Amino acid sequence: MDTAYCTADGTPYYIANFAQLSESEIASKRRQLICVECRWPAYFKRAATSGQGACFGARPHAPTCSLGAPPSKKGPGSNEVQDILRNPMNHIRIDINYGAHDKVNGDPSDVDKANTRGGRFTGDGPRGPSPMNRRLRPLLKALIESEQFRNSNIIVELPRYTSLPANQLFVNFDAVDEGLANEFRGYWGLIFDTGMSADGSFWLNTGKYDDLSILITPEKYDDFKRKFNFQLDRELEGMHLLVLGKLRKAWSGKLIIDVDDVDRCALCDD
């Protein structure tokens, strides 16, 4: 959207004018933006090196807001999302190998009886359905686009780590609290802004207040940047992030999600 309202100074900003503010003004006002129509929280996304212009967005708008997605684009979402929702096995296995092979569905002989609803192929009848293998980015898109998926009981498994219904495994940044400390979950949501500490730690900040951030340590920063192929740190602002990991509470009271493995992260610039 081209216009957003800033509650800090009571001013509606056109995107071109907001993008020309000083860095300090943008930093202080970007977390105070709301949609000019529905008044739900909005965000600012800078121009990208790819040529995409700066813009405002809201995720989501109020259901009746005319600035949200038109009715023809609402519903179950993209083809990728519909494919996930049509999963006959009701079981998704996360593949973090990111294209190491072209296989979409796993071998039915590799299905664990204890963790799935389908039978294994024994040679005495037709093959039973196997879990659907999906990478993290399509799952992040499903979380963004589909309330049905977010609220579903579809079992989502990360081998050797966890197996939970989607509505328990995935936790939006806005719903994170200290009660989830030390819990392994799929934490996801919008990156509002980024920052680099003096020691080289890279921080992805998730909302209006600095009470929850994602930490990429200096040792992992180069791998993270190489994996997601961005040139400027600020290019991530306004993107959605999914990270599989544990939440911890720092001595200061701040909640932090450490990126222990860059392959357990996904970004979506929707």
End-to-end Cα distance, the chain: 13
How far is the C-alpha of 160 from the C-alpha of 260, rounded, in Å?
15
Q: What is the pLDDT of residue 38?
A: 94
Q: Is the pLDDT of residue 4 over 70?
A: yes
pLDDT, tens digit, 9 for 90 and up, residues 76-104: 556 777 788 777 678 999 998 754 433 32
> How many helices and strands in the chain, by DSSP H and E?
7, 17
DSSP reduced 3-state for 77: coil
pLDDT, tens digit, 9 for 90 and up, residues 197-236: 999 999 999 876 678 999 999 999 999 999 998 888 888 9
Segment 6-23 shows an average pLDDT of: 94
Q: Is the pLDDT of residue 120 over 80?
A: no
How far is the C-alpha of 73 from the C-alpha of 89, rounded, in Å?
26
How far is the C-alpha of 141 from the C-alpha of 146, rounded, in Å?
8
Q: Is the pLDDT of residue 256 over 70?
A: yes
Are the C-beta atoms of residues 228 and 191 closer than 8 Å to each other? no
Q: What is the pLDDT of residue 71?
A: 45
Give CATH for domain 176-268.
Answer: 2.40.50.140
| Tokens linked to 182 | 């030390």
CA-nearest of 149, 137, 156, 171 to 270 is 137
Q: What angle do CA 130, 133, 137 make, to 5 degrees?
A: 155
Q: Which long-range contacts (CB under 8 A, 24 or more apart) does 244-248 make?
A: 244/94, 244/136, 244/158, 244/161, 244/184, 244/185, 244/186, 244/187, 245/184, 245/185, 245/187, 246/182, 246/183, 246/184, 246/185, 247/176, 247/180, 247/181, 247/182, 247/183, 247/185, 247/187, 248/181, 248/182
* Mean of all residue pLDDT scores within the chain: 82
Are the C-beta atoms of residues 41 and 32 closer than 8 Å to each other? no
Domain spans of the chain? 3-66, 75-164, 176-268
More confident residue, 88 or 260: 260
Q: How far is CA 154 from CA 43, 47, 78, 110, 205, in A?
A: 30, 37, 18, 19, 29
